[in-house]
Chains A and B, each alone.
Chain A
Amino acid sequence: MISTRQGTMSTPKIRLAGLRKSFGSKVVLDGVDLEIRPGHSMVILGGSGSGKSVTLKCILGLIPPDEGLIEIDGRDVATLSRREREEVNDRIGMLFQNGALFDSLPVWENVCFKLLAQGRISRRAARDKAAEVLAQVGLAASVGDLSPSELSGGMQKRVGLARAIAAEPDIIFFDEPTTGLDPIMGAVIDGLIVDVVKRLGATAVSITHDMASARRIGDDAAMIHKGRIIWRGEARSLGDTGNAMVDQFARGEREGPIQMELRK
Protein backbone atom coordinates (compact mmCIF):
# COMPACT_ATOMS: atom_id res chain seq x y z
CA MET A 1 0.00 0.00 0.00
CA ILE A 2 2.68 2.40 1.06
CA SER A 3 4.85 1.48 -1.87
CA THR A 4 2.05 2.05 -4.42
CA ARG A 5 1.26 5.33 -2.72
CA GLN A 6 4.86 6.34 -3.13
CA GLY A 7 4.92 4.94 -6.63
CA THR A 8 2.10 7.23 -7.67
CA MET A 9 3.61 10.07 -5.68
CA SER A 10 6.61 10.10 -7.96
CA THR A 11 4.56 10.56 -11.16
CA PRO A 12 2.51 13.71 -11.11
CA LYS A 13 -1.21 13.23 -11.82
CA ILE A 14 -1.03 15.95 -14.43
CA ARG A 15 2.09 17.37 -15.98
CA LEU A 16 2.24 20.26 -18.40
CA ALA A 17 5.47 21.12 -20.12
CA GLY A 18 6.04 23.96 -22.53
CA LEU A 19 2.34 24.35 -23.28
CA ARG A 20 1.70 27.02 -25.89
CA LYS A 21 -1.50 28.31 -27.41
CA SER A 22 -2.27 31.35 -29.52
CA PHE A 23 -5.56 32.54 -30.92
CA GLY A 24 -4.66 34.27 -34.17
CA SER A 25 -1.81 36.61 -33.30
CA LYS A 26 -2.78 36.69 -29.64
CA VAL A 27 -0.46 34.56 -27.53
CA VAL A 28 -2.40 33.19 -24.57
CA LEU A 29 -0.20 30.39 -23.24
CA ASP A 30 3.50 30.93 -23.74
CA GLY A 31 5.17 27.84 -22.33
CA VAL A 32 3.22 26.72 -19.27
CA ASP A 33 5.04 24.21 -17.06
CA LEU A 34 3.11 22.75 -14.17
CA GLU A 35 2.98 19.54 -12.16
CA ILE A 36 -0.01 18.56 -10.10
CA ARG A 37 0.50 15.97 -7.38
CA PRO A 38 -2.00 13.12 -7.11
CA GLY A 39 -4.52 13.47 -4.30
CA HIS A 40 -3.66 17.10 -3.81
CA SER A 41 -5.53 20.27 -4.43
CA MET A 42 -3.90 22.85 -6.67
CA VAL A 43 -5.09 26.42 -6.92
CA ILE A 44 -4.28 28.46 -10.01
CA LEU A 45 -4.27 32.21 -9.70
CA GLY A 46 -3.92 34.83 -12.35
CA GLY A 47 -5.38 37.98 -13.75
CA SER A 48 -8.46 38.05 -15.86
CA GLY A 49 -7.70 36.88 -19.39
CA SER A 50 -4.37 35.32 -18.42
CA GLY A 51 -5.31 31.92 -19.87
CA LYS A 52 -6.45 29.96 -16.81
CA SER A 53 -9.62 28.61 -18.40
CA VAL A 54 -7.76 27.89 -21.64
CA THR A 55 -5.24 25.81 -19.68
CA LEU A 56 -7.97 23.63 -18.22
CA LYS A 57 -9.62 23.24 -21.63
CA CYS A 58 -6.28 22.15 -23.10
CA ILE A 59 -5.90 19.48 -20.41
CA LEU A 60 -9.42 18.24 -21.17
CA GLY A 61 -8.63 18.08 -24.89
CA LEU A 62 -11.30 20.66 -25.71
CA ILE A 63 -8.75 23.08 -27.16
CA PRO A 64 -5.80 21.61 -29.05
CA PRO A 65 -2.56 23.24 -27.83
CA ASP A 66 -0.16 24.54 -30.48
CA GLU A 67 2.82 23.01 -28.79
CA GLY A 68 3.86 21.29 -25.60
CA LEU A 69 3.24 18.19 -23.58
CA ILE A 70 0.24 17.21 -21.47
CA GLU A 71 0.59 14.07 -19.37
CA ILE A 72 -2.16 12.55 -17.29
CA ASP A 73 -1.03 9.70 -15.04
CA GLY A 74 2.28 9.76 -16.85
CA ARG A 75 0.75 9.22 -20.30
CA ASP A 76 1.14 11.76 -23.04
CA VAL A 77 -2.46 12.51 -24.03
CA ALA A 78 -1.44 13.40 -27.58
CA THR A 79 -0.61 9.73 -28.19
CA LEU A 80 -3.96 8.42 -26.96
CA SER A 81 -6.54 7.00 -29.34
CA ARG A 82 -9.95 8.58 -29.32
CA ARG A 83 -11.33 5.76 -27.19
CA GLU A 84 -8.46 6.09 -24.68
CA ARG A 85 -8.92 9.83 -24.55
CA GLU A 86 -12.61 9.33 -23.80
CA GLU A 87 -11.67 6.87 -21.03
CA VAL A 88 -9.36 9.46 -19.49
CA ASN A 89 -12.11 12.08 -19.65
CA ASP A 90 -14.56 9.65 -18.06
CA ARG A 91 -12.56 10.05 -14.87
CA ILE A 92 -12.41 13.85 -14.96
CA GLY A 93 -15.10 16.18 -13.66
CA MET A 94 -15.29 19.79 -14.71
CA LEU A 95 -17.14 22.79 -13.38
CA PHE A 96 -17.26 25.36 -16.18
CA GLN A 97 -16.83 29.01 -15.34
CA ASN A 98 -20.32 29.88 -16.57
CA GLY A 99 -21.93 26.65 -15.39
CA ALA A 100 -22.64 25.33 -18.91
CA LEU A 101 -25.77 23.55 -17.67
CA PHE A 102 -27.93 21.91 -20.34
CA ASP A 103 -30.95 24.17 -20.51
CA SER A 104 -33.03 21.58 -22.33
CA LEU A 105 -32.87 19.23 -19.34
CA PRO A 106 -34.17 19.55 -15.78
CA VAL A 107 -31.64 20.05 -13.02
CA TRP A 108 -31.76 16.43 -11.83
CA GLU A 109 -30.85 15.13 -15.28
CA ASN A 110 -28.03 17.65 -15.48
CA VAL A 111 -26.63 16.47 -12.16
CA CYS A 112 -26.78 12.78 -13.05
CA PHE A 113 -25.92 13.24 -16.73
CA LYS A 114 -22.60 11.44 -16.58
CA LEU A 115 -23.87 8.57 -14.45
CA LEU A 116 -26.76 8.11 -16.89
CA ALA A 117 -24.45 8.38 -19.90
CA GLN A 118 -22.16 5.71 -18.47
CA GLY A 119 -25.15 3.52 -17.66
CA ARG A 120 -24.16 3.41 -13.99
CA ILE A 121 -27.61 4.36 -12.77
CA SER A 122 -31.23 3.99 -13.91
CA ARG A 123 -33.33 7.05 -14.68
CA ARG A 124 -35.51 6.18 -11.72
CA ALA A 125 -32.59 6.03 -9.29
CA ALA A 126 -31.09 9.17 -10.82
CA ARG A 127 -33.67 11.44 -9.19
CA ASP A 128 -32.77 10.25 -5.70
CA LYS A 129 -29.08 10.42 -6.46
CA ALA A 130 -29.53 13.97 -7.77
CA ALA A 131 -31.34 14.98 -4.59
CA GLU A 132 -28.47 13.56 -2.55
CA VAL A 133 -25.78 15.43 -4.48
CA LEU A 134 -27.85 18.63 -4.53
CA ALA A 135 -28.09 18.44 -0.75
CA GLN A 136 -24.28 18.38 -0.59
CA VAL A 137 -24.14 21.73 -2.39
CA GLY A 138 -26.87 23.17 -0.19
CA LEU A 139 -29.79 22.90 -2.59
CA ALA A 140 -33.21 21.44 -1.81
CA ALA A 141 -34.36 18.30 -3.61
CA SER A 142 -37.20 20.31 -5.19
CA VAL A 143 -34.59 22.24 -7.21
CA GLY A 144 -34.09 19.02 -9.15
CA ASP A 145 -37.34 19.51 -11.04
CA LEU A 146 -36.58 23.06 -12.14
CA SER A 147 -35.01 23.99 -15.42
CA PRO A 148 -31.56 25.65 -15.26
CA SER A 149 -33.02 28.88 -16.66
CA GLU A 150 -35.18 29.16 -13.54
CA LEU A 151 -32.15 29.28 -11.23
CA SER A 152 -30.18 32.25 -9.94
CA GLY A 153 -26.54 32.57 -10.98
CA GLY A 154 -25.24 31.22 -7.68
CA MET A 155 -27.65 28.29 -7.80
CA GLN A 156 -26.50 27.47 -11.35
CA LYS A 157 -22.93 27.44 -10.12
CA ARG A 158 -23.82 25.01 -7.36
CA VAL A 159 -25.71 22.76 -9.76
CA GLY A 160 -22.64 22.83 -12.02
CA LEU A 161 -20.57 21.81 -9.05
CA ALA A 162 -23.00 19.01 -8.22
CA ARG A 163 -22.77 17.80 -11.81
CA ALA A 164 -18.96 17.87 -11.71
CA ILE A 165 -18.73 15.70 -8.58
CA ALA A 166 -21.75 13.40 -9.01
CA ALA A 167 -19.82 10.73 -10.90
CA GLU A 168 -17.06 10.78 -8.25
CA PRO A 169 -14.18 11.53 -10.58
CA ASP A 170 -10.47 11.09 -9.92
CA ILE A 171 -9.57 14.50 -11.22
CA ILE A 172 -11.76 17.53 -10.74
CA PHE A 173 -11.40 20.94 -12.32
CA PHE A 174 -13.21 23.85 -10.74
CA ASP A 175 -13.24 27.03 -12.80
CA GLU A 176 -14.07 29.75 -10.27
CA PRO A 177 -16.27 27.62 -8.01
CA THR A 178 -17.20 30.38 -5.59
CA THR A 179 -17.49 33.41 -7.87
CA GLY A 180 -20.98 34.83 -7.57
CA LEU A 181 -21.78 33.13 -4.26
CA ASP A 182 -22.37 34.91 -0.98
CA PRO A 183 -19.45 34.61 1.48
CA ILE A 184 -21.12 31.98 3.65
CA MET A 185 -22.11 29.82 0.71
CA GLY A 186 -18.61 30.34 -0.67
CA ALA A 187 -17.17 28.94 2.53
CA VAL A 188 -19.60 26.01 2.40
CA ILE A 189 -18.52 25.21 -1.17
CA ASP A 190 -14.86 25.46 -0.18
CA GLY A 191 -15.56 22.96 2.58
CA LEU A 192 -17.28 20.70 0.09
CA ILE A 193 -14.32 20.81 -2.29
CA VAL A 194 -11.90 19.95 0.49
CA ASP A 195 -14.21 17.15 1.56
CA VAL A 196 -14.61 15.74 -1.95
CA VAL A 197 -10.87 15.74 -2.50
CA LYS A 198 -10.33 13.95 0.82
CA ARG A 199 -13.22 11.51 0.51
CA LEU A 200 -12.62 10.53 -3.10
CA GLY A 201 -8.89 10.86 -2.89
CA ALA A 202 -9.28 13.00 -5.98
CA THR A 203 -6.85 15.44 -7.47
CA ALA A 204 -8.35 18.90 -7.77
CA VAL A 205 -7.37 21.92 -9.80
CA SER A 206 -9.24 25.09 -8.93
CA ILE A 207 -9.14 28.50 -10.48
CA THR A 208 -10.06 31.26 -8.11
CA HIS A 209 -9.66 34.97 -7.54
CA ASP A 210 -10.65 34.69 -3.90
CA MET A 211 -7.57 34.45 -1.66
CA ALA A 212 -9.43 33.28 1.43
CA SER A 213 -10.92 30.53 -0.68
CA ALA A 214 -7.54 29.71 -2.26
CA ARG A 215 -5.98 29.25 1.17
CA ARG A 216 -8.89 27.10 2.33
CA ILE A 217 -9.05 24.72 -0.62
CA GLY A 218 -5.47 24.63 -1.87
CA ASP A 219 -2.53 22.51 -0.84
CA ASP A 220 -0.43 23.95 -3.62
CA ALA A 221 -0.82 27.15 -5.57
CA ALA A 222 0.56 28.48 -8.82
CA MET A 223 0.28 31.83 -10.45
CA ILE A 224 0.01 32.37 -14.19
CA HIS A 225 0.98 35.68 -15.72
CA LYS A 226 1.53 36.58 -19.35
CA GLY A 227 1.10 32.96 -20.41
CA ARG A 228 3.64 31.46 -18.04
CA ILE A 229 3.67 30.06 -14.53
CA ILE A 230 5.65 32.66 -12.63
CA TRP A 231 5.40 31.15 -9.18
CA ARG A 232 4.41 28.01 -7.38
CA GLY A 233 4.36 27.20 -3.71
CA GLU A 234 2.14 26.40 -0.80
CA ALA A 235 -1.36 27.84 -0.85
CA ARG A 236 -1.04 28.62 2.86
CA SER A 237 1.72 31.10 2.15
CA LEU A 238 -0.35 33.24 -0.23
CA GLY A 239 -0.09 36.91 0.62
CA ASP A 240 3.31 36.37 2.15
CA THR A 241 5.27 34.46 -0.45
CA GLY A 242 8.16 36.84 -0.93
CA ASN A 243 7.33 37.03 -4.65
CA ALA A 244 6.38 40.64 -5.29
CA MET A 245 3.93 39.84 -8.09
CA VAL A 246 2.11 37.10 -6.20
CA ASP A 247 1.91 39.18 -3.06
CA GLN A 248 0.55 42.15 -4.96
CA PHE A 249 -2.06 39.91 -6.57
CA ALA A 250 -2.97 38.19 -3.32
CA ARG A 251 -3.36 41.43 -1.46
CA GLY A 252 -5.14 43.12 -4.36
CA GLU A 253 -2.86 46.15 -4.45
CA ARG A 254 -2.92 48.61 -7.31
CA GLU A 255 0.73 49.49 -7.12
CA GLY A 256 3.34 46.84 -7.79
CA PRO A 257 5.17 44.93 -10.47
CA ILE A 258 1.91 43.96 -12.24
CA GLN A 259 0.66 46.96 -14.15
CA MET A 260 -2.90 46.92 -15.43
CA GLU A 261 -2.93 48.04 -19.02
CA LEU A 262 -5.38 50.90 -18.69
CA ARG A 263 -5.37 54.07 -20.75
CA LYS A 264 -4.95 57.13 -18.63
Chain B
Amino acid sequence: MDRILDPVAALGRLVIGLLRGTGAIALFAAEAISHLVRPPFYGRLFLKAFIEIAWFSLPVVALTAVFTGMVLALQSYTGFARFNAEGAVANVVVLSITRELGPVLAGLMVAGRIGAAFAAEIGTMRVTDQIDALSTLSTNPMKYLVAPRLLAGTLALPLLVIVADTLGVMGGWLIGTQQLGFGSGAYLKATFDFLQVADVVSGLIKAAVFGFIITLMGCWSGYRSGGGAQGVGRATTSAVVASSILILAVDYVLTAVLFSR
Protein backbone atom coordinates (compact mmCIF):
# COMPACT_ATOMS: atom_id res chain seq x y z
CA MET B 1 0.00 0.00 0.00
CA ASP B 2 2.82 2.37 0.97
CA ARG B 3 4.58 1.67 -2.29
CA ILE B 4 1.51 2.48 -4.29
CA LEU B 5 1.04 5.73 -2.45
CA ASP B 6 4.67 6.83 -2.84
CA PRO B 7 4.11 8.73 -6.09
CA VAL B 8 1.04 10.34 -4.55
CA ALA B 9 3.09 11.50 -1.58
CA ALA B 10 5.80 12.80 -3.92
CA LEU B 11 3.20 14.67 -5.95
CA GLY B 12 1.74 16.07 -2.76
CA ARG B 13 5.14 17.27 -1.62
CA LEU B 14 5.73 18.88 -4.99
CA VAL B 15 2.39 20.68 -4.91
CA ILE B 16 2.89 21.84 -1.34
CA GLY B 17 6.39 23.03 -2.21
CA LEU B 18 5.06 24.93 -5.22
CA LEU B 19 2.26 26.49 -3.24
CA ARG B 20 4.59 27.51 -0.44
CA GLY B 21 7.06 29.00 -2.93
CA THR B 22 4.32 30.86 -4.74
CA GLY B 23 2.94 32.18 -1.47
CA ALA B 24 6.36 33.38 -0.34
CA ILE B 25 7.00 35.12 -3.66
CA ALA B 26 3.56 36.73 -3.56
CA LEU B 27 4.24 38.08 -0.05
CA PHE B 28 7.62 39.35 -1.20
CA ALA B 29 6.01 41.10 -4.17
CA ALA B 30 3.25 42.57 -1.99
CA GLU B 31 5.78 43.96 0.46
CA ALA B 32 7.85 45.48 -2.35
CA ILE B 33 4.76 47.08 -3.90
CA SER B 34 3.68 48.48 -0.54
CA HIS B 35 7.02 50.31 -0.41
CA LEU B 36 6.24 52.02 -3.70
CA VAL B 37 3.49 54.04 -2.07
CA ARG B 38 5.30 54.93 1.15
CA PRO B 39 8.17 57.43 1.31
CA PRO B 40 11.10 57.72 1.11
CA PHE B 41 11.30 57.10 -2.63
CA TYR B 42 14.58 56.30 -4.29
CA GLY B 43 14.22 58.13 -7.60
CA ARG B 44 17.91 57.90 -8.35
CA LEU B 45 17.87 54.11 -7.99
CA PHE B 46 14.71 53.83 -10.07
CA LEU B 47 16.35 55.83 -12.84
CA LYS B 48 19.50 53.73 -12.69
CA ALA B 49 17.50 50.50 -12.96
CA PHE B 50 15.31 51.95 -15.70
CA ILE B 51 18.31 52.93 -17.82
CA GLU B 52 19.92 49.56 -17.17
CA ILE B 53 16.80 47.76 -18.38
CA ALA B 54 15.50 50.01 -21.14
CA TRP B 55 18.60 51.56 -22.65
CA PHE B 56 21.12 48.75 -22.35
CA SER B 57 18.66 46.11 -23.55
CA LEU B 58 17.89 48.09 -26.69
CA PRO B 59 20.56 46.49 -28.91
CA VAL B 60 19.55 42.87 -28.17
CA VAL B 61 15.86 43.58 -28.33
CA ALA B 62 16.23 45.58 -31.55
CA LEU B 63 18.27 42.89 -33.28
CA THR B 64 15.90 40.14 -32.19
CA ALA B 65 12.91 42.13 -33.44
CA VAL B 66 14.37 42.97 -36.84
CA PHE B 67 15.37 39.39 -37.58
CA THR B 68 12.06 38.04 -36.32
CA GLY B 69 10.17 40.41 -38.62
CA MET B 70 12.36 39.35 -41.53
CA VAL B 71 11.91 35.64 -40.89
CA LEU B 72 8.17 36.06 -40.38
CA ALA B 73 7.82 37.75 -43.78
CA LEU B 74 9.80 35.02 -45.51
CA GLN B 75 8.01 32.13 -43.81
CA SER B 76 4.50 33.47 -44.13
CA TYR B 77 5.16 34.26 -47.80
CA THR B 78 6.19 30.66 -48.42
CA GLY B 79 3.09 29.42 -46.62
CA PHE B 80 0.57 31.82 -48.13
CA ALA B 81 1.92 31.41 -51.68
CA ARG B 82 0.41 27.92 -51.59
CA PHE B 83 -3.05 29.44 -51.17
CA ASN B 84 -2.38 32.34 -53.48
CA ALA B 85 -2.75 34.59 -50.47
CA GLU B 86 0.64 36.33 -50.55
CA GLY B 87 -1.11 39.65 -49.91
CA ALA B 88 -1.65 38.66 -46.27
CA VAL B 89 2.07 38.76 -45.44
CA ALA B 90 2.04 42.32 -44.09
CA ASN B 91 -0.99 41.59 -41.89
CA VAL B 92 0.48 38.42 -40.47
CA VAL B 93 3.77 40.09 -39.70
CA VAL B 94 2.27 43.04 -37.85
CA LEU B 95 -0.24 40.95 -35.92
CA SER B 96 2.27 38.32 -34.83
CA ILE B 97 4.78 40.94 -33.80
CA THR B 98 2.53 43.27 -31.84
CA ARG B 99 0.35 40.67 -30.18
CA GLU B 100 2.82 37.94 -29.49
CA LEU B 101 6.40 37.94 -30.62
CA GLY B 102 7.34 41.49 -29.70
CA PRO B 103 6.50 41.15 -26.01
CA VAL B 104 7.50 37.49 -25.63
CA LEU B 105 10.86 37.77 -27.36
CA ALA B 106 11.72 41.08 -25.70
CA GLY B 107 10.68 39.50 -22.40
CA LEU B 108 12.89 36.46 -22.91
CA MET B 109 15.86 38.59 -23.96
CA VAL B 110 15.48 40.90 -20.98
CA ALA B 111 15.00 37.89 -18.69
CA GLY B 112 18.43 36.66 -19.74
CA ARG B 113 20.10 40.00 -19.24
CA ILE B 114 18.29 41.65 -16.35
CA GLY B 115 16.99 38.66 -14.40
CA ALA B 116 20.54 37.33 -14.22
CA ALA B 117 22.12 40.69 -13.46
CA PHE B 118 19.69 41.54 -10.65
CA ALA B 119 19.93 38.08 -9.10
CA ALA B 120 23.73 38.22 -9.16
CA GLU B 121 23.93 41.74 -7.80
CA ILE B 122 21.42 41.29 -4.99
CA GLY B 123 22.67 37.76 -4.27
CA THR B 124 26.22 39.07 -3.84
CA MET B 125 24.92 41.76 -1.53
CA ARG B 126 23.16 39.07 0.50
CA VAL B 127 26.17 36.80 0.92
CA THR B 128 28.53 39.68 1.73
CA ASP B 129 26.18 41.03 4.44
CA GLN B 130 25.45 44.21 2.47
CA ILE B 131 21.70 43.64 2.81
CA ASP B 132 22.10 43.29 6.58
CA ALA B 133 24.24 46.41 6.53
CA LEU B 134 21.40 48.35 4.87
CA SER B 135 19.05 47.63 7.75
CA THR B 136 21.66 48.87 10.24
CA LEU B 137 21.95 52.08 8.21
CA SER B 138 18.34 53.28 8.54
CA THR B 139 17.40 51.87 5.16
CA ASN B 140 14.84 49.21 4.39
CA PRO B 141 16.46 46.78 1.93
CA MET B 142 13.14 45.91 0.27
CA LYS B 143 12.44 49.56 -0.35
CA TYR B 144 15.98 50.34 -1.43
CA LEU B 145 16.80 47.31 -3.56
CA VAL B 146 13.58 45.70 -4.71
CA ALA B 147 10.87 48.35 -5.08
CA PRO B 148 12.72 50.65 -7.56
CA ARG B 149 13.75 47.69 -9.70
CA LEU B 150 10.21 46.28 -9.87
CA LEU B 151 8.81 49.63 -10.93
CA ALA B 152 11.58 50.14 -13.48
CA GLY B 153 11.01 46.70 -15.01
CA THR B 154 7.25 47.19 -15.24
CA LEU B 155 7.63 50.55 -17.01
CA ALA B 156 10.67 49.79 -19.16
CA LEU B 157 9.43 46.66 -20.89
CA PRO B 158 6.45 48.32 -22.65
CA LEU B 159 8.84 50.96 -23.96
CA LEU B 160 11.18 48.31 -25.29
CA VAL B 161 8.25 46.52 -26.89
CA ILE B 162 7.16 49.68 -28.73
CA VAL B 163 10.64 49.73 -30.24
CA ALA B 164 10.51 46.00 -30.93
CA ASP B 165 7.11 46.33 -32.64
CA THR B 166 8.36 49.11 -34.87
CA LEU B 167 11.56 47.35 -35.81
CA GLY B 168 9.81 44.03 -36.33
CA VAL B 169 7.43 45.60 -38.82
CA MET B 170 10.39 47.30 -40.48
CA GLY B 171 12.14 43.93 -40.78
CA GLY B 172 9.09 42.50 -42.50
CA TRP B 173 8.83 45.53 -44.73
CA LEU B 174 12.50 45.21 -45.70
CA ILE B 175 12.11 41.61 -46.86
CA GLY B 176 8.70 42.35 -48.37
CA THR B 177 9.97 45.16 -50.56
CA GLN B 178 13.48 43.97 -51.29
CA GLN B 179 12.90 40.30 -51.84
CA LEU B 180 9.24 39.45 -52.18
CA GLY B 181 8.35 42.18 -54.66
CA PHE B 182 5.77 44.20 -52.65
CA GLY B 183 5.55 47.91 -53.28
CA SER B 184 6.70 49.93 -50.28
CA GLY B 185 3.50 52.00 -49.98
CA ALA B 186 1.23 49.03 -50.49
CA TYR B 187 3.04 46.98 -47.84
CA LEU B 188 2.78 49.74 -45.24
CA LYS B 189 -0.86 50.44 -46.13
CA ALA B 190 -1.70 46.77 -45.66
CA THR B 191 0.12 46.86 -42.33
CA PHE B 192 -1.67 49.84 -40.87
CA ASP B 193 -5.11 49.28 -42.39
CA PHE B 194 -5.36 45.99 -40.66
CA LEU B 195 -3.83 46.88 -37.32
CA GLN B 196 -6.10 47.73 -34.39
CA VAL B 197 -5.27 49.67 -31.27
CA ALA B 198 -6.18 46.62 -29.16
CA ASP B 199 -3.45 44.57 -30.84
CA VAL B 200 -0.74 46.97 -29.75
CA VAL B 201 -2.22 47.67 -26.32
CA SER B 202 -2.58 44.00 -25.48
CA GLY B 203 1.08 43.53 -26.35
CA LEU B 204 2.07 46.41 -24.10
CA ILE B 205 0.02 45.02 -21.21
CA LYS B 206 1.82 41.72 -21.65
CA ALA B 207 5.13 43.56 -21.71
CA ALA B 208 4.41 45.33 -18.41
CA VAL B 209 3.48 42.02 -16.77
CA PHE B 210 6.63 40.35 -18.14
CA GLY B 211 8.77 43.23 -16.90
CA PHE B 212 7.29 42.78 -13.45
CA ILE B 213 7.89 39.01 -13.54
CA ILE B 214 11.51 39.35 -14.68
CA THR B 215 12.50 41.88 -12.06
CA LEU B 216 10.51 40.10 -9.35
CA MET B 217 12.18 36.75 -10.00
CA GLY B 218 15.61 38.37 -10.29
CA CYS B 219 15.25 40.23 -7.00
CA TRP B 220 13.60 37.32 -5.20
CA SER B 221 16.27 34.78 -6.20
CA GLY B 222 19.06 37.16 -5.23
CA TYR B 223 17.41 38.20 -2.00
CA ARG B 224 16.95 34.61 -0.84
CA SER B 225 20.32 33.32 -1.97
CA GLY B 226 22.89 31.97 0.44
CA GLY B 227 25.92 29.76 0.37
CA GLY B 228 28.59 31.99 -1.11
CA ALA B 229 29.53 32.28 -4.77
CA GLN B 230 27.88 28.97 -5.58
CA GLY B 231 24.62 30.12 -4.05
CA VAL B 232 24.71 33.30 -6.11
CA GLY B 233 25.33 31.22 -9.24
CA ARG B 234 22.31 29.09 -8.44
CA ALA B 235 20.20 32.18 -7.78
CA THR B 236 21.18 33.60 -11.16
CA THR B 237 20.27 30.44 -13.04
CA SER B 238 16.99 29.99 -11.24
CA ALA B 239 16.02 33.62 -11.85
CA VAL B 240 16.47 33.22 -15.61
CA VAL B 241 14.83 29.82 -15.84
CA ALA B 242 11.87 30.73 -13.63
CA SER B 243 11.19 34.04 -15.34
CA SER B 244 11.44 32.50 -18.83
CA ILE B 245 8.99 29.74 -17.99
CA LEU B 246 6.67 32.15 -16.23
CA ILE B 247 6.72 34.49 -19.24
CA LEU B 248 5.58 31.71 -21.55
CA ALA B 249 2.93 30.43 -19.14
CA VAL B 250 1.59 33.86 -18.27
CA ASP B 251 1.60 34.75 -21.97
CA TYR B 252 -0.86 31.95 -22.58
CA VAL B 253 -3.09 33.04 -19.71
CA LEU B 254 -3.01 36.69 -20.75
CA THR B 255 -3.76 35.84 -24.37
CA ALA B 256 -6.70 33.74 -23.29
CA VAL B 257 -8.01 36.55 -21.08
CA LEU B 258 -7.31 39.50 -23.38
CA PHE B 259 -8.80 37.88 -26.47
CA SER B 260 -11.57 35.91 -24.84
CA ARG B 261 -14.27 37.88 -26.66
How many of chain A's residues have a CB under 8 angstroms from any CB in B?
24
In the complex with contacts A100-B128, A102-B130, A117-B135 CB distance below 8 A: no
Extra contacts besides A61-B135, A96-B132 (15): CB < 8 Å = A60-B136, A86-B138, A90-B138, A92-B136, A93-B136, A97-B129, A100-B130, A100-B132, A101-B130, A101-B133, A113-B137, A113-B139, A114-B137, A114-B139, A117-B138
Shortest CB distance A70–B (Å):
15
A57 within 8 A of B: yes
Do A94 and B136 touch (CB < 8 A)?
Answer: yes
A62 within 8 A of B: yes
Chain B residues whose CB sits within 8 angstroms of the CB of A100 once the complex forms: 128-130, 132-133
B129, B132, B137: the one within 8 Å of A117 (CB): B137
How many of chain B's residues have a CB under 8 angstroms from any CB in A?
13
Shortest CB distance A158–B (Å):
16
Interface residues as binary, A157-169 with B (CB distance below 8 Å gives 1, 0 otherwise) = 0000001000100
> Among B129, B130, B132, B137, which residue has the most Cβ atoms of chain A within 10 A?
B137
**Chain B residues in the interface with A (C-beta under 8 A):** 121, 125, 128-130, 132-133, 135-140
B125, B132, B137, B138: the one within 8 Å of A163 (CB): B137
Do A96 and B133 touch (CB < 8 A)?
Answer: yes
Interface pairs (17), CB distance under 8 Å: A60-B135, A86-B140, A89-B135, A89-B136, A93-B136, A94-B136, A96-B132, A98-B129, A100-B130, A100-B133, A102-B130, A102-B133, A103-B130, A104-B121, A113-B137, A113-B139, A114-B139
Do A118 and B138 touch (CB < 8 A)?
Answer: yes
- Tell me, in angstroms, the Cα distance from A86 to B133 when the chains sit together: 13
**Which partner residue on chain B sits nearest A119 by CB separation?**
B40
Chain B residues whose CB sits within 8 angstroms of the CB of A104 once the complex forms: 121
Chain B residues whose CB sits within 8 angstroms of the CB of A86 once the complex forms: 138, 140
**Which partner residue on chain B sits nearest A91 by CB separation?**
B138
Chain B residues whose CB sits within 8 angstroms of the CB of A94 once the complex forms: 133, 136
**Which partner residue on chain A sits nearest B125 by CB separation?**
A102
Chain B residues whose CB sits within 8 angstroms of the CB of A60 once the complex forms: 132, 135-136
Do A96 and B129 touch (CB < 8 A)?
Answer: yes
Chain A residues whose CB sits within 8 angstroms of the CB of B138 once the complex forms: 86, 89-90, 114, 117-118, 167
